Amino acid sequence: MRKNWLWYQFFRFPLVKSGLYFFYKKIIIEGKEHIPRNKPILFVPNHQNSFMDAFLVVVHTKPFTYFLTRAQAFNPPLLAKFLRSLNMLPVYRVRDGLSSVTKNNAIFDECIQYLKRNDAILIFPEANHDLKRRIRPLSKGFTRIAFDAEVQENWNMDLQIIPVGLNYTEHQRSRNAVKVVFGEPILMKQFQELYEKDERAAANALKKQVSDEMKKLVMHVPNLDHYPLSKIILDDLEDDPKKLIDPETANKNVEKIEQNATSELYEIAKKVYELAEKNDFNVKTIHGRKKPVLALILLFPLCLFSWLNNLIPYQAVRRITSKVIKDHAFDASIKFLLGLILFPLFWILASSILWLSGVPVEFVIGYFGLSIATSVLFKNANLIVREAKEKRQLEEFSKTHPEEYKEFINGIKILNEFRSEVL
């Protein structure tokens, strides 16, 4: 048995998996039947949402999985030891310096040894993360591991590459839906003949096939310049989030937009997108998102309790995230990891205070159980508070920048009309 087996399985299943099912309202898994048993596997997911991408893959697969993480996260040494215990391996990028990049040789060799014993490796072929809903150009790191592994085993390893699509309704917020789609395996054996003739051509062929398969598993906007239009129409103005995380539906809608959009619409979308990003406006709030009104009315006492009871740990998580995190792709990951610690810690502390104050044990236990059970209602209650704040922010902007505000609102109206016509 591997020395960290028990700790890794505890972290992966009871801790992270249960935490994920509290953090997300719904997790949909498709294609698990494509994951082979007792075979070496290379998982290659898209990378939009930092650590959450890796967590969502490894907790829904059986193989003992190692995943490559950027080396910057492995400082100081104590943290490096902790991350290593969780099967994370440091991978170095060109920006880390040429001397650092050469360290990848040892890491890639380590990956190959794990594959030889039928373990799995998770590597993000895009090499960096981005919140945009599209597949970016792939790096060559995963091809090197795949080909070197097969060559060392004289092409008898039977390595399976599994493309994975991660689809989020909202990347940065909790209590939303996410769909994880495992694609059909790509067999490395098929590239043997080409590799023996031309290694570069074989690597490019593998990259192309993996990229093409990944594009089927997520919403993919081919042209980056056209991204604002697809993002606003299919994400911000969409009332049914299920359409957004269904790759087939989303990609059909992207195609419809591409076929019918004009240069004027692309320009309007770009202005709306940039103004929203610059001022931290939420187009969904302006458009008017559907709210769980009936649930809020029926569950009002529980929602109110959840909001009041969780406000302190929530504010702590929010402040740390907003002040410390500069890259928004880390928002959900940091919120999840902090929430995994701070919310239970607060409930334990509050329960202890109640018990020390002389409150009967059965009431203390009831409070703790109610805190866990109603934590999933916090977002519903907080949504009202957050939208009120966003509307005040917009109202203030309309007074200080009336012309920009008018152009912004008119732009959203034009894009919504186009959406109604095309979709």
Which of the listed residues 195, 217, 239 is the one where a domain comes to its end?
A: 217
DSSP letters spanning 134-163? SPPPP-SHHHHHHHHHHHHTTT-S--EEEE
Q: What local confidence, expressed as pLDDT, does residue 318 receive?
A: 92
**Percent of the chain beyond pLDDT 90?**
78
**125: its two tokens:** 């072929």
Yes or no: say if 67 and 89 are a contact pair by the CB < 8 Å rule: yes
Position 282 pLDDT exceeds 60: yes
Position 95 pLDDT exceeds 70: no
Position 289 pLDDT exceeds 70: no
Contacts of 331 (CB under 8 A, 6+ apart): 171, 172, 321, 325
Q: What local confidence, expressed as pLDDT, does residue 100 receive?
A: 66
Q: Which of 175-189, 254-268, 311-325 has the lowest mean pLDDT?
A: 311-325
The answer on 334 and 263 residing in a single domain is yes
What's the rounded Cα separation, in Å, for the pair 104 and 92?
6
Highest mean pLDDT among 84-98, 281-295, 365-379: 365-379
Q: What is the pLDDT of residues 171-201, one digit of tens each?
A: 998 999 999 999 999 999 999 999 999 999 9
Yes or no: say if 283 and 272 are a contact pair by the CB < 8 Å rule: yes
Yes or no: say if 180 and 164 are a contact pair by the CB < 8 Å rule: yes
What total of structural domains would you count in the chain? 2
Position 98 pLDDT exceeds 60: no
The answer on 227 and 189 residing in a single domain is no
The answer on 129 and 33 residing in a single domain is yes
The answer on 230 and 203 residing in a single domain is no
Q: What is the pLDDT of residues 380-409, one digit of tens each?
A: 888 888 888 998 999 999 999 999 999 999
The answer on 306 and 289 residing in a single domain is yes
Which of the listed residues 158, 193, 217 is the one where a domain comes to its end?
A: 217
Yes or no: say if 37 and 120 are a contact pair by the CB < 8 Å rule: no
The answer on 355 and 232 residing in a single domain is yes
**How far apart, in Å, are the Cα atoms of 397 and each of 31, 233, 354?**
46, 23, 45
What's the rounded Cα separation, in Å, for the pair 351 and 364?
6
What's the rounded Cα separation, in Å, for the pair 39 and 262?
49
The answer on 213 and 242 residing in a single domain is no
DSSP letters spanning 156-192? -S--EEEEEEEEES-SSSSS-EEEEEE-PPEEGGGGH
Range of the domain at 267: 223-423
**How far apart, in Å, are the Cα atoms of 125 and each of 44, 45, 144, 192, 266?**
6, 7, 11, 21, 29
Yes or no: say if 22 and 139 are a contact pair by the CB < 8 Å rule: no
Position 341 pLDDT exceeds 70: yes
The answer on 152 and 50 residing in a single domain is yes
The answer on 373 and 227 residing in a single domain is yes
The answer on 284 and 145 residing in a single domain is no
> pTM, whole model, 2 decimals?
0.93
Q: What local confidence, expressed as pLDDT, does residue 292 receive?
A: 63
The answer on 255 and 175 residing in a single domain is no
Q: What local confidence, expressed as pLDDT, does residue 322 receive?
A: 87
**176: its two tokens:** 């939303």
Indicate the DSSP class of residue 95.
Answer: G
Q: What is the pLDDT of residues 37-79, one digit of tens each?
A: 999 999 999 999 999 999 999 999 988 999 999 888 888 888 8
Which of the listed residues 217, 233, 249 is the one where a domain comes to its end?
A: 217
- Of the candidates 64, 90, 84, 49, which has an alpha carbon nearest to the alpha carbon of residue 12? 64
The answer on 127 and 99 residing in a single domain is yes
CATH of the domain at 54: 3.40.1130.10
| Residues facing 177 on adjacent strands | 26
